[in-house]
Amino acid sequence: MSACLPSVYPLIQAPMAGAQDHRMAAAVCRAGGLGSLPAAMWTATQLAGEIEALRALTDAPFNVNFFTHEMPPPDEAVKARWQHRLQDYYRHWGVTADSAPVPLRRPFAAEQLEVLQQYRPAVVSFHFGLPQAGLMRAVKDTGAQVLASATTVAEAQWLADHGADVVIAQGSEAGGHRATFLGSDMATQTGLFALLPQVADAVPVPVVATGGIADERGIRAALALGASAVQLGTAYLLCHESLIGGVHRTALSAAAGAVAAETAISNVFSGKPARGLVNTLMRDLGCLNEDVAPFPYAAAATAALRSAAEAQGDSSFTPLWSGQNPHGCRAISAYDLTRDLCGCFEG
Ligand SMILES: Cc1cc2nc3c(=O)[nH]c(=O)nc-3n(C[C@H](O)[C@H](O)[C@H](O)COP(=O)(O)O)c2cc1C
C-alpha cells in the first residue's frame, strides 16, 4: 500500500466529470492506482449505480469526488445578458438559447452523503473547498479519507485546518476547472513547480501533486518537490475508457502530437475558470469574459450551439479540457497507462 493512499501505488486518476465513469476508475484500480468516480454531474441514484458497477469489476479501494461550489439563485437578467452575447451564434447555427438542456453541476448535499454512508468508499475528494461543517463531519464519520484541492498556499492551509486529511496542490497547468475557492484572481495562479514545495512546507498533512504531470519524469519531479502522491487527469483522456466526444478526441490527439499545444484558462464554458485547448468561443469572446452567467448556469446557453457544431465535426463551442502538457495522452487502456506510469514507483 502507498504511504498516504489506500491504493498499491501513490497515483490517483483524476476524477473528470463528463469525461469518464466506473470503467476508467476500475481499470486504474485494477492496475494498482486509485481510480476516481466523478460525481459532480450525477444524481445520487446515478452515483450509487456507478459505485455498484465499479464494485462488480474490482474490490480495490477507490475515490468518489464531488464539487462543493455555491449555487447562486438563478438571475434572469444575468442569463439574458449572457444569451444576448451569444445571439449572433444562435442565428448562424439556427438554434435557440435553451433548445438543448444540460445536466447542472450540483454541489455535494445530503442525498450524496447518504450514498457515501451506504457504500463507504475509502477515499472522498472535493473540488472548490469543503462541504459545510455538519456534512464534512458526517463524511469523515463514514471512515473515508478526505482529500481536497488547493490552488494557493492559503487554500491548502484552510483545507488542512478544516479537516482535509490530504491536500491536492493543483498547479495552474492543470486541465479542467481551477479548484479556487478563496479569491478569484486568475492572474495570480501558481504553477506546480512553485506551488508544491510551498504547500508541502505549509501544511501538516500529505500533499498530492496535480497539474501538467504527463509521464514518469513529472512524477519523479513531484515526489522530489515534496509530494506524497500524484494525480493525473489529461493523460487519461485518450484512453479507451475515456468518454470524451469525437471533436475533443481529435483536438487532443493533435495537441498530444504537436510541438506546443495552446491551452488557456477560460470561464466561457461553465462560468468558472477552467483550462482547455483554445478554440473559437474562447478566441472570439476572450478567455475570461465578464458577461458570462455564473457557474454552473453558463453551460446551458452554449449547449445547443455545441451540439449543432459538433454534429458537423466543429469544435468551436466544445470545452476541449486539457492541461498544459497533453504529451502524456495515449490511446491505450487506462490499465496499461497506469501500469506504465507506476513503473517508476518500483525502484
Ligand atoms: C476533463 C477534465 C475534467 C475534470 N473534472 C474534474 C472533476 O470532476 N473533479 C475534480 O476534482 N477535478 C476535475 N478535473 C481536474 C483534475 O482533478 C486535475 O486537477 C487535473 O486534471 C490535473 O491536471 P492535468 O489534467 O494536467 O493532469 C478535471 C480535469 C479534466 C482534464
CATH of the domain at 208: 3.20.20.70
Residue 108's pLDDT is what? 98
Q: Which amino acid residue places its CA nearest to atom 7 of ligand 1?
A: 16
Is there a contact between 58 and 29 (Cβ–Cβ < 8 Å)? yes
DSSP state at residue 295: T
Verify that 87 and 61 share a domain, yes or no: no
**Which tens digit of pLDDT belongs to each residue from 273-324?**
999 999 999 999 999 999 999 999 999 999 999 999 999 999 999 999 999 9
pLDDT over 90 at 259, yes or no: no
Mean pLDDT of 93-98: 92
Is there a contact between 260 and 237 (Cβ–Cβ < 8 Å)? no
pLDDT over 90 at 100, yes or no: no
Containing structural domain, residue 89: 72-104+262-321
Residue 329's pLDDT is what? 98
Verify that 194 and 317 share a domain, yes or no: no
Verify that 7 and 156 share a domain, yes or no: yes
Verify that 229 and 292 share a domain, yes or no: no
Give the pTM: 0.98
Verify that 54 and 200 share a domain, yes or no: yes
pLDDT over 80 at 27, yes or no: yes
Ligand 1 centre from 175 Cα, in Å? 5
- Nearest ligand 1 atom to the CA of 41 is 8
**242 in any annotated domain:** no
Q: Report residues whose beta carbon is within 6 angstroms of any ligand 1 atom.
A: 14-17, 19, 38, 40, 65, 127, 149, 170, 173-176, 210-213, 231-235, 321, 323
Is there a contact between 212 and 173 (Cβ–Cβ < 8 Å)? yes
**Which tens digit of pLDDT belongs to each residue from 215-235?**
999 999 999 999 999 999 999
Verify that 141 and 41 share a domain, yes or no: yes
Is there a contact between 96 and 300 (Cβ–Cβ < 8 Å)? no
Ligand 1 centre from 102 Cα, in Å? 20
Band the pLDDT of 245: cuts 50, 70, 90. Answer: very high
Verify that 119 and 89 share a domain, yes or no: no
**302 in any annotated domain:** yes
CA distances from 278 to 54, 68, 145, 219, 287 (A): 34, 27, 36, 26, 9
Verify that 133 and 143 share a domain, yes or no: yes
**160 in any annotated domain:** yes
- Cα–Cα distance measured from residue 13 to residue 184, given in angstroms and rounded to the nearest whole number: 26
Q: What's the domain count of the chain?
A: 2
Verify that 162 and 273 share a domain, yes or no: no
Band the pLDDT of 98: cuts 50, 70, 90. Answer: confident
For 237, the grid coordinates are: 483522456
- H/E stretch holding 37: strand 36-38
Mutate to test the pocket of ligand 1, among 230, 234, 249, 269 (most ligand atoms within 8 A of CB): 234
Ligand 1 centre from 141 Cα, in Å? 26
